[in-house]
Amino acid sequence: MAEIRPPSVDKKRTDRFISCQDALNDEFQGLVERAVAAARRPQEVLVAMIELADNWALMMEASAEVETALKVPKRKGVL
C-alpha cells in the first residue's frame, strides 16, 4: 500500500479539497480494482464505498456531538 501524500497547500486555499482527492485517487482506484478482481461488480463497489463514507461521516458527527456534550458537565465539575 502506497503512502498517501500530506497536504502541500495552505489550509485556506480552495484547491486543498482537490489536492486531497488527488492524494487519495490511487488508493481509491486500487481498492475498486481489487474488489472487482474479487468478483464484485463495479457499481456495487462504488455504492458500498459511498455508503461507508456516509456512515463514517455520521459517526464523526455523532462523536463530535458526544464530545461537546461531555465538555459541558466537566466544566461544571460533574464529571
| Residue 74: predicted pLDDT | 58
pLDDT in tens, 8-65: 767 677 788 888 899 999 999 999 999 999 999 999 999 999 999 999 999 999 998 8
User: Look-up: residue for cell 503512502?
Assistant: 3
pTM for the whole structure: 0.70
C-alpha pair distances (Å), 57 with each of 20, 26, 61, 79? 16, 21, 6, 28
* pLDDT band of 76, cuts 50, 70, 90: low
* CB contact set of 61 (below 8 Å; sequence gap of 6+): none
> 43 with 63: CB under 8 angstroms?
no
- Name the 3-class secondary structure at 11: coil
Report the amino acid identity of residue 17.
Answer: F
Model confidence at 79: pLDDT above 70: no
